[in-house]
Amino acid sequence: MDVITRRQLKALWKLKLRLLERFWHQRDTMYRWTMLISLLFSALVALVMGAGTGWLVYSLMPMGKDPSVGPQMIQLIWLGIFLIISVVWVVSPLLFVIKNESLTLDVSRLTRYPIAYRTLHGFHTLLSLLDPWTMFYYPMVIAMLVAVLAQAGAGLFISMSALLMLWVLVHTAWSRLFQDLITVLFNSRKLREILSLIVIVMVILVAFVPALITERTAFEQLAKIKAPNLELFLAQWPTWRKMRPLLEFFLYATPAGAFVQALSGLVYEQPRWWLEGCISLFGWLVLANISGIALLRSLFSEPPAIVASTASSSPLFAKWRLPGLAFDLRVMVLKELRVYFRSLLGKLSFFLTPLLVVILRLVGLGASGAYAPASLLLGMTVYVFMTSLFLYINYFGPDGEGFKLYLLSGMSERRVILAKNLALGLFAGAEFAIVLVLYTALYRQPDVDTILFGIGSFVALLMGVLSMGNLLSMRFAGFMDLNQTQYRQSNGTPILLAIQVLSMIAGVLGFALWIAHRQHEPLWLVGLMLAGLMSTGWWLLLPFSASLFKEKRWQILEEVTKKE
């Protein structure tokens, strides 16, 4: 390594440490403590997961020595565990992919300097070892080390440590490669949004996997299987029979497979397996490095085409009209609706509840008749607001510099709020209509009474949430996005408050529904009463919100235009 490269590496290291230090020192005490507690908690969770994994390795280990089971069987089970850890490890930086100078070094700012891409990539990858999402896995690795050594003996300390170090490095390198790949994809707004939506849908689907397995697997029958050993027991389980060829393939074609091979080599005293596994892991490391350098080079010297793109929006948005509204209100409402539907947060807020309604039906929940139709519909309606709360408590954050226009144009405060409320009402109304159609199509045909109650409870919830939004959006005006872990998010107070208020309104509606059921009162009447009550409340609060807006407008301007 020549003297210039050494100086460059030293400078980069210093830069990273300085940025991390600034990140820490510029936060207030409350933020630091919250973050510290959150990190400690995450580390504890990782430690518990690592201990659990170690325990699984530990407890399955003796079975591999049993000739009727054999090590390969155990390898396949371990592989299942490590594959999940491996995938989560590699993709977890996605949560932090939005650029944050203090936490992730933006290498695009370094390409103008005389530094080789190889050096830059190597160093950037090694810096990932300090990234928060990588550090979450260290307690897990330590717990695994302790668990395996406890069973197999401390004599394996060096070889097991070497293996775990390789395991960490392989994931750090692949994780960096994944981040760079995402950065390439995220250069295109459309790709970025589609990818984010796919990831969110995947997360939701994964969250429902246990429910799906429970729904599809007859555990009573599984419990009745009497088999002399694990191999035969699993052989009678259809899911396992389907998964086994895939797992055998993964054993030889994934880093997790190589790790399991090396691990079983250690615990079953087969040095050749350990060596083969380590060589394979090293191969994965080299592959990630070569691909990473090539990708980094193309990322900064060959950015994707952005100039040629001319079509900026769907013609659908351009054709929207809102007859019957005063011109200024109409223009503002249309502007709001266009912003919602063109932003990732808006699209997500709009489609999440309908998606959940479909998924719940696929899983089979709610269709058994255990829930009264009105309460099921009420639950879905609450979800319409629950999944789009961000929009209701952050009117001005997305406006950014555009907020100045409200101050310059001389539009009355009341009218601005009214326009924001109308836009949100239309947005939520359209979503509720979709949910109602899905409910009717996928669950059961509701009677008129239930539908009217549904509409009434929707209006009541909307008015309650808008009243809350008219106050919270003035008090906590700063921009909010999905990623609350970003350093510019000082706290989650408005979200917590909003959830509490929404829960209270939902509780009141639920209570009213329960009373109506008990008293055999018509549900539509209850819905209508609550809708009227909440609408009156909203109307009475409107002048107060307008005066609050007038009072806070300069503070809001400062908040929404603040640059971090």
Distance CA 211, CA 185 (A): 33
Vertex 105 angle, CA 99 and 111, to 5°: 105
315 exposed, middle or buried (CB, 10 Å; 0-12, 13-18, 19+)? exposed
| Minimum distance of other proteins from residue 329's CB (angstroms) | 24
Are 248 and 397 spatial neighbours (Cβ–Cβ below 8 Å)? no
20 exposed, middle or buried (CB, 10 Å; 0-12, 13-18, 19+)? middle
Distance CA 168, CA 129 (A): 9
Interface map 115-154 toward other proteins (x if CB under 8 A)? xx--------------------------------------
The yes or no reply on residue 370 touching other proteins (CB under 8 A) is: no
Q: Cβ closer to other proteins: 105 or 513?
A: 105
CA distance readout (Å), 133 to 48, 86, 93, 206, 431: 16, 13, 6, 20, 35
Packing angle, helices 157-186 and 189-207, rounded to 10: 130
The window from 135-143, 248-256, 298-306, 370-378 that contacts other proteins (CB under 8 A) reads 298-306
The yes or no reply on residue 318 touching other proteins (CB under 8 A) is: no
Q: Cβ closer to other proteins: 303 or 543?
A: 303
113 SS3 class: coil
| Best CA proximity match to 559, nearest among 504, 478, 486 | 478
| Minimum distance of other proteins from residue 312's CB (angstroms) | 15
Q: Cβ closer to other proteins: 283 or 303?
A: 303
| Minimum distance of other proteins from residue 459's CB (angstroms) | 43
Q: Which of 158, 307, 311, 318 binds other proteins (CB under 8 A)?
A: 307
Distance CA 550, CA 155 (A): 72
| Minimum distance of other proteins from residue 26's CB (angstroms) | 8
Window 3 to 42, contacts with other proteins (CB under 8 A) = 3-4, 7-8, 10-12, 14-15, 18-19, 22-23
| Minimum distance of other proteins from residue 13's CB (angstroms) | 10
Q: Cβ closer to other proteins: 3 or 316?
A: 3
Q: Which of 1, 29, 67, 114 binds other proteins (CB under 8 A)?
A: 114
- 480 is written with which tokens? 């909010």
| Minimum distance of other proteins from residue 103's CB (angstroms) | 11
Q: Which of 32, 65, 99, 109 binds other proteins (CB under 8 A)?
A: 109
- 542 is written with which tokens? 């409107």
The yes or no reply on residue 113 touching other proteins (CB under 8 A) is: yes
Are 392 and 421 spatial neighbours (Cβ–Cβ below 8 Å)? no
The yes or no reply on residue 300 touching other proteins (CB under 8 A) is: yes
The window from 43-51, 198-206, 304-312, 459-467 that contacts other proteins (CB under 8 A) reads 304-312
The yes or no reply on residue 562 touching other proteins (CB under 8 A) is: no
Q: Which of 67, 220, 302, 312 binds other proteins (CB under 8 A)?
A: 302
The yes or no reply on residue 308 touching other proteins (CB under 8 A) is: yes
| Minimum distance of other proteins from residue 109's CB (angstroms) | 4
Q: Cβ closer to other proteins: 341 or 479?
A: 479
Interface map 49-88 toward other proteins (x if CB under 8 A)? ----------------------------------------
CA distance readout (Å), 473 to 181, 347, 552: 36, 20, 10
The yes or no reply on residue 98 touching other proteins (CB under 8 A) is: no
Window 418 to 477, contacts with other proteins (CB under 8 A) = none
328 contacts: CB under 8 Å, gap ≥ 6: 411, 415, 419
Interface map 499-518 toward other proteins (x if CB under 8 A)? --------------------
- Here the contacts of 145-149 (C-beta below 8 Å, separation 24 or greater) are 145/54, 146/51, 146/54, 147/50, 147/51, 147/53, 147/54, 147/55, 147/57, 147/58, 148/54, 148/57, 148/58, 148/263, 148/266, 148/267
User: Where on the chain is the footprint of other proteins (CB under 8 A)?
Assistant: 3-4, 7-8, 10-12, 14-15, 18-19, 22-23, 101-102, 106, 108-116, 300-303, 305-308, 563
